[in-house]
Amino acid sequence: MSFIERMRVVPHIPPIINQTLKTNLNNKSTSHIAYNKKLNIKRGAFIKSNRKQDKNVLYNITTGETIETKDGIFYEVYPELYIMKECRLLESALRHFI
C-alpha cells in the first residue's frame, strides 16, 4: 500500500515531538509488542511504545497487520510516535473522518 493510499484510510497528522521509529521496506515499523491471538488489536489502535519523551510515554498507531521477524511475530505500526495528548486529538479527528 502506497503512502497516498494509506492516508485515505488513516489521515496523516504529523507528530509534534517529531520522533519516529526505524522503518522497514514498506515504510512501516515493527512494534515491541509480540502478537497475541487473544488480543483483538485492529487498525488505528494506540499501543504503548518502549520510548519516552521526558516523562511522557509515547504511543504508536497500529496498521492492523503483523510482521514476522526472526524473534517472532509482532504488530505492525506507523513509525510516528505520539504523546497521550496527541493521541486524544487524533482519536477525535479519526472519528470525524470515519
Enter the pTM of the model.
0.70
Look at residue 73 in the predicted model and tell me its pLDDT. 92
Please, what are the averages of pLDDT over each run of 10 residues along the chain (98 residues)?
A: 59 60 79 88 86 85 88 90 85 73
Q: Are 77 and 47 in contact (CB under 8 A)?
A: yes
Look at residue 7 in the predicted model and tell me its pLDDT. 55
Look at residue 35 in the predicted model and tell me its pLDDT. 92
Picking from 16, 20, 17, 1, the residue whose alpha carbon sits closest to that of residue 61 is 20
Place of cell 517472532: 72
Look at residue 2 in the predicted model and tell me its pLDDT. 63
Q: Are 28 and 79 in contact (CB under 8 A)?
A: yes
